[in-house]
């Protein structure tokens, strides 16, 4: 088992199956169509991200380098939390942007959804984790893979 220590953005614990992208995560493109049409499993709708496009995100450990794209990213994350369709957690090798962080924090504070967010896990994290791996997030920002 490999362990990585990051910065806690939204506290919490979880264990989930990894869904890994080595490309920037466009929050709006990834969630918009699934939210609008209430698609089961919340499949990723970002056609520019072939690693995860079409794959279900709900309940998964999203393992990403960074978020990219629209200023609506924070509101999208809050919305998936409010709808109860959020990923189990979001794990970033780099720093999360302030808009996405604000949406994840609002989702944690204003809804009953627990979606831990850990960033600054380092590039080694994305080299080690593979889609389908079991990922465990601990309260102190430690992420275990395997």
Structure confidence at residue 69 (pLDDT): 78
Task: Compute the distance between CA of residue 65 and CA of residue 70 in angstroms, rounded to an integer.
Answer: 16
Q: Contact 85/112 with Cβ under 8 angstroms?
A: no
Quick one: average pLDDT of 124-143? Answer: 98
pLDDT digits (tens, 9 = 90+) for 84-132: 999 999 999 999 999 999 999 999 999 989 999 999 999 999 999 999 9
pLDDT digits (tens, 9 = 90+) for 3-42: 999 999 999 999 999 999 999 999 999 999 999 998 999 9
pLDDT digits (tens, 9 = 90+) for 53-96: 999 999 999 999 999 977 899 999 999 999 999 999 999 999 99
Helix (H, G, I), strand (E, B) or coil at 84: coil
Task: Kindly report the backbone phi and psi dihedral angles of residue 90, in degrees, each rounded to the nearest multiple of 5, phi listed first.
Answer: -125, 125
């Amino acid at each position: 088992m490999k362990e990585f220590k990051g910065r806690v953005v939204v506290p919490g614990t979880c264990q989930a199956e990894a869904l890994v992208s080595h490309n920037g995560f466009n929050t709006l493109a990834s969630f918009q169509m699934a939210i609008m049409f209430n698609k089961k499993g919340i499949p990723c709708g970002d056609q520019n991200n072939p690693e995860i496009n079409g794959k279900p995100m709900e309940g998964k450990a999203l393992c990403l380098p960074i978020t990219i794209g629209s200023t609506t990213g924070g509101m999208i994350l809050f919305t998936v939390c409010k709808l109860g369709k959020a990923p189990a957690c979001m794990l970033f090798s780099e720093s999360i942007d302030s808009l996405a962080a604000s949406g994840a924090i609002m989702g944690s504070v204003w809804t009953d959804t627990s979606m831990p967010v850990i960033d600054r896990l380092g590039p080694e994290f994305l080299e080690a984790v593979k889609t389908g791996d079991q990922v465990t997030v601990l309260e102190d920002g430690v992420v275990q893979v395997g």
